A and B are shown apart, each in its own frame.
Chain A
């Protein structure tokens, strides 16, 4: 079974700063996906960024980027130039993908990120 660990229950930074959220995972699979989801106070789950394990290049989406270290099973999220709207719960998630099927997401417990004005 896969496990996802987010070791930072809560983080607080000043607006415009850069912040990094950590995530580690454990799996014996070789083919999988990793995700960061954002959950603002509206509770909607919003996909922030996705990384495919077979790709060595780290994914980026505007101000969001990841540091994917496959050997270390680490998948951190960096938010540059943080904005008040980035205040939310952030979940790291893992999904295996084998045989053309689909599997459920395994989530970490989340990091509550607060951006201070």
Chain B
């Protein structure tokens, strides 16, 4: 089954404790992206990657890191989480050159206390 998976689905952590949210897709997509969703703000792009070892900032990259060492994986790293990073996070992927359809993961609910 074609899908984007994220782990964990729920995470409660404390300020300053490094964490990683994993994202993996099995569709051989070149493009992968992270979004955060906050009430009243919709979804905003954090980082994206056009292919292995190619990443770039989205609209709200501060406080986040990403890596793309393998085509299927695109982890989101919070080196020192803060309460303002409490949010719902989505990973998405797509083929480049298609008609723009992105496939979303199920979301990760992160709470930083």
A interface residues with partner B (beta carbon < 8 Å): 4, 9, 33, 35, 43-45, 47, 50, 52, 91, 93, 95, 97, 100-102, 104-110
Contact = CB atoms under 8 A, between A and B. Distances in A.
Interface in B71-113: 88, 90, 92, 94, 96-102, 104, 106-107
Contacts of B40: 9, 109
Closest 8 CB pairs of A and B: A45-B104, A107-B42, A33-B100, A104-B45, A107-B43, A109-B42, A102-B31, A102-B96
Contacts of A47: 101-102
B113 to A, nearest CB: 21
B79 to A, nearest CB: 22
Contacts of B58: 104
27 contacts: A4-B42, A33-B99, A43-B106, A43-B107, A44-B104, A44-B106, A45-B90, A45-B104, A47-B102, A50-B99, A50-B101, A52-B99, A91-B43, A95-B100, A97-B100, A100-B96, A100-B97, A101-B97, A102-B30, A102-B97, A104-B35, A104-B45, A105-B33, A105-B43, A105-B92, A109-B40, A109-B42
A50 B107 CA distance: 22
Contacts of A33: 99-100
Interface residues of B, number: 28
B44 A107 contact: yes
A105 B41 contact: no
Interface of B: 30-31, 33, 35, 40-45, 48, 50, 58-59, 88, 90, 92, 94, 96-102, 104, 106-107
